[in-house]
Amino acid sequence: MADTFVVVGGDAAGMSAASKAKRDDPDLDVVVFERGEYVSYGACGLPYYVKGDIERLDDLVAVTPEEFREERDVDLRTGHEVVAIDREARRVTVEADGRTLEQPYDQLLVATGARATKPPVEGVDAEGVFTLRDMEAGGEIRSFVEETEPGTVGIVGGGYVGLEMAEAFDARGIDVHVFEMLPHVLQPFGEPVAEVVEEHLGEQGVTLHLDTPVSHLVTDAGRVVGVHAGGEETPVDFVLVGTGIRPNVELAAEAGIELGPTGAIAHDAYGRTNDERVFAAGDCAEATNLVTAEADYVPLALTANRHGRAIGQTVTGEPTEVGGMVGTAVVKVFDLEVARTGIIDGEEARDAGFDPVSATIRAESRAHYYPGGSPITIQLVGDGETGRLLGASMVGREGVAKRIDSVVTALHAGMTVAEVETLDLAYAPPFSPVWDPVLTAAKVLGGKLD
């Protein structure tokens, strides 16, 4: 009798693991339970669906449920929610269509993802208050915007989702107010980059309320009509809450699967939890930060896909490490590309045992004489004791999304700032000055580290 690999959760990590396991061992029974109707979709594309750049919601689906079942021979069951894990009996309890069933497993992957958080303020559950985390939410927001033609939106939170959605709503002619409790938007990107973004948002007509926590949402007859923050009330037609996500760990925790210091599921280098037959991956699980060599929680699409694929190989007899990450992210904010990687924050660096030294430069994206160039701001951070590169943040109208990758590569290699300065980066006037902005930033930081 063939072994059974059960996967809980049908998005990036879960379906990557299921597909890889079935490909490597066609005789393995692979069963996936997904409580929703969508699987293997690009949630990162939802703001652009709401904006209208992407016409159909289904365009975000990479592989349909039918393709998984018919072409990949995966026993995928949508509309099925796993409600309990019995590790001793090696089975899961599943609810679907008002009935309960049990499924035995030989090996199990918990890939339950994460959910959007809401601040504990009055009115947050009123009609007209949205979060954006899954396909259904994206569909609801776009339908609401198209059907009601609202004039003003209040966005609570100035992170990735909040700013991407600010652009989406602005494109639909909606007046946008962003409320951020911290002094700057995009907190993980650092102050120098955030200030450039804030100036650009103002130029686009977005009203920023910085260092302004929301005290409550104003409602009328159960519907949101305003945002009360900083002692003032801003009338709005609807609200988007983008204040972060929280890992879905309750199912695992109730089964005695250990959580790590971040609150997400802990696992070893192979994705295995404290139960050798149970793995965890994706937005419900921790990952190793290669800069600090410690467990971290930075939910990213590539990490989820990579970890799932590695676990798929491991369960079929080829032990494969899931690998670490350095927290790389890039976001489009109207006309700007904004990116970060590694450790930017000085306090975080000191907590990790480093002596952070930072340098910020502003350079042109192309040779000064070549038309079409624009400024790029780069903040580079290194360790004062060892000279090791710790992280970078950058912003500009062009060339940022790929330049960050050279820094990512340097972080994975554990390079020093001096070594980054000697990188043989590509040069041609339409793409870069002779001294690429990354090299210039390394030169300036290197001078501080000497």
Domain residues of the chain, as ranges?
4-115+246-315, 118-243, 338-449
The four Cα atoms 294, 295, 300, 305 give a dihedral, to 10 degrees, of: 100
* Alpha helices by DSSP H, 156-315: 160-171, 191-203, 250-254, 301-315
Contact present, 208 and 219 (Cβ < 8 Å): no
Confirm if 350 and 343 have CB atoms less than 8 A apart: no
Q: State the catalytic residues.
A: 44
Token pair for residue 15?
């379906």
Antiparallel, parallel or unpaired: β 114-116 and 129-131: unpaired
What is the token pair recorded at 122? 């009055």
Provide CB contacts within 8 A for 58, sequence distance 6+: none
CATH: 3.10.640.10, 3.30.390.30, 3.90.1150.10, 3.50.50.60. Which one for 118-243? 3.50.50.60
Is residue 265 classed as helix, strand or coil in its secondary structure? Answer: strand
In terms of C-beta density within 10 A (0-12 exposed, 13-18 middle, 19 or more buried), how is residue 69 classed?
middle
Q: Are strands 278-280 and 107-110 parallel, antiparallel or unpaired?
A: parallel
Q: Which CATH number is associated with domain 4-115+246-315?
A: 3.50.50.60
pLDDT of residue 450: 84
Radius of gyration, alpha carbons of the chain: 23
Sign of CA dihedral 240, 241, 244, 245: negative
Please enumerate, as own/partner, the contacts of 414-423 that have beta carbons within 8 Å and a separation of 24 or more.
414/388, 415/388, 415/389, 416/382, 416/386, 416/387, 416/388, 416/389, 417/380, 417/382, 417/387, 417/388, 417/389, 417/442, 417/445, 417/446, 417/449, 418/387, 418/442, 418/446, 418/449, 419/389, 420/389, 421/446
- Two domains, one topology: 4-115+246-315 and 118-243: yes
Q: Which helix (H) or strand (E) holds 342?
A: strand 336-342
Largest CA distance in the chain: 71
- Global pTM? 0.95
Candidates 265, 293, 275; CA nearest to 390 is: 293
> How many whole angstroms from its chain centre is CA 182?
20
The predicted pLDDT at position 1 comes to 53
CA 330, CA 312: separation in Å to the nearest integer?
28
| CATH classification (class only), 338-449 | alpha beta
Which residue numbers in the chain have pLDDT < 50?
none
Phi, psi (degrees; rounded to nearest 5) at 367: -55, 145
**Rounded to 5 degrees, what angle do the CA atoms 234, 235, 241 make?**
75
* Spatial separation of the C-alpha atoms in residues 163 and 334, rounded to whole Å: 9
Rounded Cα gap, residues 375 and 364, in angstroms: 5
C-alpha closest to that of 292 among 262, 331, 248, 330: 262
> Exposure pattern of 251-263 as b/e (b: 16+ CB <10 Å)?
bbeebebebbebe
Report how far residue 240's alpha carbon sits from residue 131's, in angstroms, rounded to the nearest whole number.
Answer: 6
The neighbouring-strand residues paired with 338 are 331, 395
126: tokens are: 């009123």
Phi and psi at 22, nearest 5°, equal: -70, -35
259: DSSP letter: B
